[in-house]
Structure 1
Amino acid sequence: MGAVLGTGRVGTLTRVALTVVVLLLLLPTRALAAVVAADTSATLVETLPLPTSLVGPESVAFDEYGDGPYSGVSDGRILRWDGADRGWTTYSHPPGYSVAKCMAPKLRPAELTESKCGRPLGLRFHNVSGNLYIADAYKGLMRVGPRGGEAAVLATEADGVPFRFTNGVDVDQVTGEVYFTDSSTRFQRSQHERVTATGDSTGRLMSYDPTTGYLSVLESGMAYPNGLSLSADRSHLVVALTGPCKLVRHWIKGAKAGTSEPFAELPGYPDNVRPDGKGGYWVALHREKTESPYGSDSHLLAVRVSRDGKLVQELRGAKNVRPTEVMERDGGKLYLGSVELNHVAVVKATT
C-alpha cells in the first residue's frame, strides 16, 4: 500500500483521506450523526445538597416566578431550594405522609417504603394557576396548589387499568392540559430494570383535562415511555422510550393528530425530556448504549436534539453522574436531576 501511495506529502494526505473514509464507513449510522454534534463537557458551577439521608432529586422544576428548583426526593416529599442560607424546605407531601414512617432509617426494602410514602418523579408547574403537577410512581398523577401543602391525587387508573409506574409529566401552558406517562402496567418503579430486560411494551401516554377531570389514553402499547415534552408550537409531544433508546413524536394537532412517528435515535437510555429554549430539547441519558467500564473517566450525560430530531450537542461528564433530567435556565446554567445522588448539580457546557 505504501509503495502505491508514495512517501511524499501527497501520499501522506492520500493515506489520511483513505483512513478517514474507512473509519466513517465502519461507523454505525448513529455515530455518523454524532460526528456533526458539538461535543461539550459539563463544568460544575455549584451543588445544591439535600438534607441528610435524602437522595434522588429525579426531576427539577421552577415556578412562574422563576423560584426554585423544586424537586421530589426519596421520602416522597417535594422540596424547594430557598437559597444557600436556608437550603431545601418542604413544599409538598402526598396524602398519608408520615414523618415517622417515611423519614425513618431505611430498614425495609425501598419498594415497601416508596409504595406507602410515594416516589415523585416528573414535575411541572402550570404558570397561570401556579399549580404543580406531580407524576408519582406509586400514587399516580397528583396536583398541589401554589401554596404547597398536601397534594391531591387526580388519577390512579385509565380505562380501568391501574397505573403501575407513573413517570413523566408536562403541561400545556395555554390550555392547562396535562400530559403524562405510565411506563408499564406490569412493573413498578422498583422493578424498572425488568421493564427493559423483558422488552415490556405495556406503557401508556395520557392526557388529563383539569377543567373537566377527563382522562384520555393517547397511545398504549409503548416500550417504556418515560419523560416527555410538549413542542414549542404545541402541536406534538416528544416522548422518550427508555428501553429502545429513542424519541418518538406523538401528534396532538393537525392532520396527523393521534399518530406517532420516530423522532430521534439516541446513543443511550433516555429519561426526562425538557425544552432547550431554542425549539429543541435536552434529553438526559442515564447510561450509554455501549458504555465500557474501561478507558475514559467521562461518559455521555445528555444530548441536545433540535426541533427536527437532529442531535446537535453531546454533554459529557463524570461516570458517577447519571442524570435523569437536564433543565436549562438563564445564563446557560443546566440543572441536573438524579435518581441516585444526594444533590442537584448545576453545570455549564464548555467546549
Structure 2
Amino acid sequence: MSTSAQRTRRRWKKRKSLRAVMGCLQGSLRLSESGRFSSRQSQPTTTSETLAHAEETARRPWAGRAAGRQVTVLADKVGGQPIRYADAVVVARDGTVYFSDASTRFAPADWGGTFEASVLDIIEQSATGRVLAYDPATKATRIVARGLAFANGVALSADEKNLFVAETGKYRIWKIDVQARDLDVGNATSPQASVLFDNLPGYPDNLMRGLDGKVWAGLVKPRNPAVDKMAGMPFLRSVTLRLPRALWPVPRPYGHVFAFSEEGKVLADLQDATGAYPETTGITETRDRLYVQSLHARGLGWLKRMP
C-alpha cells in the first residue's frame, strides 16, 4: 500500500463506519435460512425501508435469531483473497449467485463507509473490481471477470447466458459471458466480454431488469471535468487521496436514469438537471410506476410509468 493510501486510511478509520447500516453489502454475501432470495432480495436496492431494517438489525442483532431466522455467510473469500466490497447481486434460475466485488483495495469497513470507499477507488483507478459467482451446489465461489474500475451493478440477460456489468470508474457497461473464468477485461480482448456502452455522461451504478426486455441503469453522478483531467496524472490522483472529504472533486447532483435493450439500444432516457432527487442509483419498474433509488435521499422516489 502506498504511503498516501496509508495516511488516508488512518484518517478515515477515525470516522464512524457505516458498516452497521450497509452491512449487507460489505465484505460477504449473506442469505436467510430459507436458502432462497425473493425477487426483492435478488436486486440491489438502497430504499429507506431497507436501510431502516439494516439499522434495526445493527442495533438489535439478536432480533432475527429470536424470531427463528438465521444469517449464514455464503462467501467471504475467493481464491484465498477476502471479498472486501460485495456490492450488487443477481440470482440465476439455477440458483447461481452472481455479485460484484467493487474493489479489493478499499473496503467500506476500513475507509469510513461505502461512499467514501467508492470515491477513493475511483480516484485511484487501480481497477481491482471483480464479478464473482457462487455455486450453491458446490458452495464454491469463482471469479468470472476482473480488472474493472469499481465493479458495480449486475443484471442477467433474459436467457441468463450473459451478465451486464456497470464499471463505474470507467463510465462503461459491459456484457460478459457467465461462463467466463478469471477473465481480465482490463488487459485482454476476448469474445466472452464486450463493452455495450462506453464514455457514458455519468457514473453508472445499479443495473436492474425492467419490463418488456428493458434493463435500467442509474447514473449516480454526472462526470466531473476535474476527475477526467486526472485520468493520466497518477501523482495528482495520489495527492487528491490525501485531501479531506470536503475537498474531494465530487460532482454536483443531477438525476439521470436510462433504459436499454440487450443489444445496446437506448429505450428511455430520463433526466433532472436540478438534482432535486439526488444520486439516482437505479430504477425498479412496475406496470404503473418507476421507483427511483438513491444513495443518500431520505425516501424512495417514484414517477408514473409512461406506456
TM norm. shorter chain > 0.5? yes
- Residues 291 and 341 of structure 1: is their aligned pair in 2 closer, same or farther, counting only changes over 3 Å? farther
Q: Within 5 Å, give how 1:26-175 maps onto structure 2.
A: 109-111=15-17, 113-114=18-19, 118-121=22-25, 129-130=36-37, 132=41, 149-172=69-92, 174-175=93-94
Match of 2:196 among 252, 258, 263: 263
Per the alignment, residue 271 of structure 2 pairs with: 316
**Is 1:227 matched with 2:161?**
no
C-alpha contact 2:31 2:72 (8 A) present in aligned 1: no
Note closer, same or farther for the CA distance 1:167–1:298 as it changes in structure 2 (3 Å cut): closer
Cα 1:148–1:289 change in 2 (3 A) is farther
Matched length: 227
Taking a change above 3 Å as real, the CA distance of residues 118 and 177 of structure 1, as seen in their structure-2 partners, is same
> When you count helix as a share of all residues, which structure comes out higher?
2
Question: How far does residue 324 in structure 1 lie from its aligned partner after superposition?
Answer: 1.5
The one-character-per-residue Cα deviations of 1:245-267 (angstroms, maximum 9, x if unpaired) are 1100101259x998211111222
Which is bigger in relative contact order (C-alpha 8 A, separation at least 6)? Answer: 1
Q: Report the counterpart of residue 303 of structure 2 in structure 1.
A: 347
In structure 2, the CA distance between the partners of 1:203 and 1:298, relative to structure 1 (3 Å rule), is: closer
2:293 and 2:121 map into 1 onto residues whose CA distance is 21
**2: CA distance, partners of 1:258 / 1:214:** 25
The equivalent residue for 1:179 is 98
Pairwise CA distance, 1:211: 2.1
Match of residue 213 from structure 2: 279
Paired residues of 2:88 and 2:152 also in contact (CA < 8 A):
yes
Instruction: Give ranges in structure 1 of 5+ residues lacking alignment.
Output: 1-107, 137-143
Matched residue type, 1:307 = E
The one-letter amino acid paired with 2:270 is L
Alpha-carbon shift at residue 278 of structure 1 (Å): 2.1
Q: CA 1:343 to 1:110, structure 2 compared with 1: closer, same or farther past 3 Å?
A: farther
More strand by share: 1
**CA spacing shift, 1:335–1:128, aligned 2, 3 Å:** farther
Give 1 or 2 for the bigger CA radius of gyration: 1
Q: Distance in 2 between matches of 1:324 and 1:119?
A: 18
Change (3 A) 1:233 1:274: same
- State how far apart, in whole Å, the 1-side matches of 2:212 and 2:190 are: 24
Report % sequence identity. 27
Between the aligned partners of 2:147 and 2:253, the Cα distance in structure 1 is 35
Change over 3 Å in CA distance of 1:261–1:269 after alignment to 2: same
Q: 2:136 pairs with 207, 210, 214, which one?
A: 210
